[in-house]
Structure 1
């Protein structure tokens, strides 16, 4: 199957507009990374203080904190995705460090494995070779199936399934490292499936197999970074407000993060045109209100059609790209949803009698 046809920006945008849209700021990507962590810290600290003031106030705030923190965890994953495209910072070393350690490590993602995997998704979007096709192919689905998915996410079952697979691969890699087994990386075709157990759809999702020794070793390093970040969060929590902040962080990672990730994945490609030669039909843009931007659509990830059309545009410039496309009447070719509730209605249909 040939690769999907690319949009031609010079046929849509004025040259000056295109230069502005593709400019990678040396500060905005890093500021968004800081914003993700600061927002998380404020919510964790605020909920802990409420709990100290009165347990009932803390109990009321608890579910809201889990939702907001889960949204920021998804936000960090989205920023890792920006790093995979080289859009966090114009300096490649700074970009890769931010994408690997400051964003991806928090949710257990490996920037480099994800980059190779994700660029294949862009190359073959909604084609049979698309590695993310499994995320959109099951839709539309029944309300009963959707409820089961939501239940598994919010009860931590999805989290445990994905992490257990990742931990098994990491253990195999650790044993190989302790034995001093030689790496084959660079001597042949590099395996990019390892480390993507939590990377599908931008940051996380369906487990992918580890097919060689290098893959297992990369997964070990990915898990090592993930556990280090969890340890740092735990120590910071204990040194400041006790165990409550760490509990909120961990519960969010195991529940709301998984659910928001699923909804975001669904909105991006489910029930869009499969196999089309028109690049404007490969993804969906979803308008998001404030609560949706806080949870399922952080950092302008809802402008997914624009991202697939012009993947060199940083996330903070996607709204501008959208406005310019509308001004050119391109919305008639695009798949645009009025909100995430609308998307879920589109992809959820009762079973035929």
Structure 2
């Protein structure tokens, strides 16, 4: 199948506008990586200092969301947008973003660029994430339960170790670096006298909240978008509120329609890119949701409707 059409930035922006919304900073991407790790440490410290069920649940949610944040920053690195120096971009993207959460930058880059090239077509490697929608609310609830009980995490790790999600897809190359980085983390915490913090405040968020918010992110990005030939229809932008950005959609990942059209724009430029597109009237060509609750309503159907459709 031929690749999807692309839009030339010159057809949308003035040279000055494009320079402003596409510029890569030598420090902002690195600052975001530091912020992600800083919030992970702060959330863990919150529970250590004030141990109770509320602070633990909050810590798990915050850390799980920042683990997703590291994956999002790896995604920026895959597009060469984390840092203008390619070597710094790839090193930070690999060792500080990808490896800690069990990913591998180079294999992800090849996989993800194919997703951009063939978005919402039969050759899209991520089509299985959006094609089943809309689904019943009961089906979504079952998926949420599997995420929060660690079943999704276990299934993904088994696939990571023993084989890919699809025939021929190799994903187990990330295991060695994942184990190495995580061994350093565990050793550091053990030396500090907090060995238990590694399973309780790193693995538990990774096994519960991270799979859930990753699922919500995937639903928000491509489920029920009604993709057409126009590249502005290939993904959804969700106008996440501050709580959603903190717990579900860090680092402006919710501006996904903008990202799909102009995929090399750094994540920290996406709000400005969104504003320019809105001012130019491109909202009429885009799929924009007011929040994640709205997205889930669109992506699910009541049992009666699902049975009628069957």
In structure 1, what is the equivalent of residue 210 of structure 2?
257
SS at match of 1:325: helix
Q: CA deviation at 1:253?
A: 0.3
In structure 1, what is the equivalent of residue 221 of structure 2?
268
In structure 1, what is the equivalent of residue 113 of structure 2?
119
Q: Where do residues 198-347 of structure 1 align in structure 2 (5 Å cutoff)?
A: 207-210=165-168, 215=170, 219-220=172-173, 222-240=174-192, 242-246=194-198, 247-274=200-227, 276-347=228-299
Q: Does 1:10 align with 2:10?
A: yes
In structure 1, what is the equivalent of residue 126 of structure 2?
132
Q: CA RMSD in A?
A: 1.4
**1:98-124 Cα distance to aligned partner (Å, 9 max, x none):** 111110011111110111111111111
In structure 2, what is the equivalent of residue 35 of structure 1?
35
Give ranges in structure 1 of 5+ residues lacking alignment: 52-57, 170-196, 198-206
The correspondence for 1:352, drawn from 304, 307, 310, is: 307
Query: Residues 162 and 172 of structure 2 are in contact (CA less than 8 Å); yes or no, is this contact kept in structure 1?
Result: no
SS at match of 1:352: helix
Q: CA deviation at 1:280?
A: 0.9
Alpha-carbon distance between aligned partners in 2 of 1:290 and 1:240, rounded to the nearest angstrom: 34
SS at match of 1:299: coil
Give TM-score, length-normalised by structure 1.
0.83
Alpha-carbon distance between aligned partners in 2 of 1:119 and 1:157, rounded to the nearest angstrom: 28
Q: CA deviation at 1:140?
A: 0.1
**1:71-125 Cα distance to aligned partner (Å, 9 max, x none):** 0000000000000000111111111101111100111111101111111111111
Query: Residues 69 and 249 of structure 1 are in contact (CA less than 8 Å); yes or no, is this contact kept in structure 2?
Result: yes
SS at match of 2:74: helix
Give ranges in structure 2 of 5+ residues lacking alignment: none
Query: Residues 9 and 18 of structure 2 are in contact (CA less than 8 Å); yes or no, is this contact kept in structure 1?
Result: yes
SS at match of 2:135: coil
Q: CA deviation at 1:45?
A: 1.3
In structure 2, what is the equivalent of residue 154 of structure 1?
148
Q: Where do residues 55-94 of structure 1 align in structure 2 (5 Å cutoff)?
A: 58-94=52-88
Query: Residues 159 and 254 of structure 1 are in contact (CA less than 8 Å); yes or no, is this contact kept in structure 2?
Result: yes
SS at match of 2:237: strand
Alpha-carbon distance between aligned partners in 1 of 2:82 and 2:225, rounded to the nearest angstrom: 28
**1:275-319 Cα distance to aligned partner (Å, 9 max, x none):** x11111100000111111112211000000000010121000000
**1:302-342 Cα distance to aligned partner (Å, 9 max, x none):** 00000001012100000001000010011011000000010
**1:25-71 Cα distance to aligned partner (Å, 9 max, x none):** 111111111111111011111211112xxxxxx22211111000000
